[in-house]
């Protein structure tokens, strides 16, 4: 039961982080449509291998930061500023994104595996994302920086990443029109999410100083 919480937390965090349309999941879906499920799964395997190391590294960073309450507070304040700027940008400044049709040539399983590693390695979002997630979970006593719990959390994140990417492979054809709608409204969606995070972060900062 002690290990179930970090497993589920890692799974949910990874699924939420990957399920919005992005370069990795959309590429996985297109590889599946043009080259078949085997090549798509090799692509996913490469991406997940990098995600495993990214999550592990993020938790190690979080463990160091968690021992410094002053650093945690500073990160919250910096995060509030960054998310506020992102909210303003996506809601009022950014232009509507246009879906681009990318051509994917028939390639070997090996090349798709390394393509997955490359695209996942170029995505730096998971590291700060999992730092914040693990510190937040620890603050609510849902996570602890112990070896078995860390491994379980990372394993759950890998499972959640696979589930999210596999859902694109398995159901992209059925949800392609809805995905186009999401892409057209992506700025509003992202701006709303960052806005909520900004409000929650501000609440935590005020609670720290005045609570």
Q: Computed from CA positions of residues 187, 125, 65, 153, in that sequence, does the dihedral angle turn out positive or negative?
A: positive
pLDDT digits (tens, 9 = 90+) for 142-165: 899 999 999 999 999 999 999 999
- Work out the pLDDT band at 178, boundaries 50, 70, 90: low
Q: How far is CA 101 from CA 98, 166, 197, in A?
A: 10, 21, 32
| pLDDT, the chain, mean | 81
Residues 138 and 144: beta-carbon distance below 8 Å: yes
Domain ranges of the chain: 4-210
- Interhelix angle 186-210/147-184, nearest 10 degrees: 140
Region 113-117 average pLDDT? 93
Give CA–CA dist 82/128, Å, rounded.
Answer: 12
Residues 143 and 1: beta-carbon distance below 8 Å: no
Residue 56 reports pLDDT greater than 60 = yes
Alpha helices by DSSP H, listed for the chain, are 4-18, 23-35, 37-66, 69-88, 109-122, 126-139, 147-184, 186-210
Residue 119 reports pLDDT greater than 80 = yes
- Work out the pLDDT band at 69, boundaries 50, 70, 90: confident
pLDDT digits (tens, 9 = 90+) for 95-110: 654 545 545 555 677 8
Residues 121 and 49: beta-carbon distance below 8 Å: no
């Amino acid at each position: 039961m002690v290990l179930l919480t970090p497993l589920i937390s890692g799974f949910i965090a990874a699924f939420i982080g990957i399920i919005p349309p992005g370069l990795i999941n959309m590429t996985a879906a297109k590889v599946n449509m043009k080259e078949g499920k085997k090549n798509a799964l090799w692509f996913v395997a490469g991406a997940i291998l990098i995600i495993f190391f990214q999550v592990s590294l993020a938790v190690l960073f979080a463990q160091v930061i968690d021992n410094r309450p002053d650093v945690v507070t500073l990160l919250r304040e910096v995060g509030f500023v960054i998310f506020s700027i992102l909210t303003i940008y996506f809601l009022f400044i950014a232009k509507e994104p246009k879906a681009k049709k990318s051509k994917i040539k028939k390639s070997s399983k090996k090349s798709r595996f390394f393509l997955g590693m490359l695209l996942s390695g170029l995505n730096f979002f998971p590291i700060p994302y999992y730092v914040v997630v693990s510190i937040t979970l620890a603050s609510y006593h849902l996570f602890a920086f112990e070896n078995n719990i860390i491994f379980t959390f990372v394993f759950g994140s890998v499972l959640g990443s696979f589930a999210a990417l596999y859902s694109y492979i398995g159901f992209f054809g059925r949800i392609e029109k809805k995905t186009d709608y999401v892409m057209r409204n992506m700025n509003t969606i992202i701006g709303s999410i960052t806005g909520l995070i900004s409000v929650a972060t501000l609440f935590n900062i005020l609670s720290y100083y005045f609570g």
